[in-house]
């Protein structure tokens, strides 16, 4: 079971790192103006065309927020991986928080599975400990 947790954890970290780099590239492109497109909004049937500067600002702020959330997700995943041997419940909680913050479906599933397995592993260990104490 430890191999499954290690493998799914690494898969999640690698994919989340790749998606964070992708968001960083989009952020750089939007800040430098490489994505120079006007965008339109339609409210009550009236179409309004916004300037390129407004579009650049909207995309820059949007990609910055997405990039920061992705970085926090990676941090929670790495902390969960490091705490796996010392505190399995805390590690499971960190994996679940990282999965919720993750913007990648495969990372979400893999870290959610890691978190559930670690929490379940700890509960099974405490049940076995209680049974051995009752026998003694």
Structure tokens at 71: 């970085």
In DSSP notation, 30-99 reads: HHHTSS----EEEETTEEEEPPHHHHHHHHHHHHHHHHHHHHHHHHHHHHHHHTTTT-HHHHHHHHHHHH
Identify the bridge partners of residue 67 per DSSP, sorted by sequence position.
none
pLDDT bin (cut points 50, 70, 90) of residue 75 is very high
For residue range 44-68, what is the model confidence (pLDDT) as tens digits? 777 776 677 777 788 888 889 999 9
CA angle 130, 133, 136 (to 5 degrees): 155
Structure tokens at 2: 């430890």
pLDDT at 14 over 80: yes
Q: What is the pTM of this model?
A: 0.75
Query: By mean pLDDT, which of 7-11, 72-76, 103-107, 124-128 is the weakest?
Result: 124-128
Q: Give the residue carrying structure tokens 């928080």.
A: 97
Helix (H) or strand (E) holding 112: helix 105-135
Q: How many helices (H) and strands (E) does the chain have?
A: 4, 2
Structure tokens at 44: 């009550």
């Amino acid at each position: 079971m430890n191999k499954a947790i290690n493998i799914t954890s690494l898969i999640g970290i690698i994919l989340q790192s790749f998606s964070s780099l992708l968001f960083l590239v989009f952020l750089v492109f939007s800040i430098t103006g490489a994505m120079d497109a006007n965008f339109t909004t339609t409210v009550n049937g009236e179409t309004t065309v916004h300037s390129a500067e407004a579009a650049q600002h909207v995309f820059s702020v949007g990609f910055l927020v997405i990039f920061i959330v992705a970085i926090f997700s990676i941090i929670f995943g790495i902390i969960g991986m490091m705490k796996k041997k010392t505190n399995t419940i805390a590690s499971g909680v960190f994996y679940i928080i990282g999965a919720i913050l993750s913007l990648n479906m495969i990372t979400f599933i893999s870290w959610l599975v890691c978190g559930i397995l670690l929490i379940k592993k700890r509960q099974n260990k405490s049940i076995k400990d209680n049974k051995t104490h009752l026998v003694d």
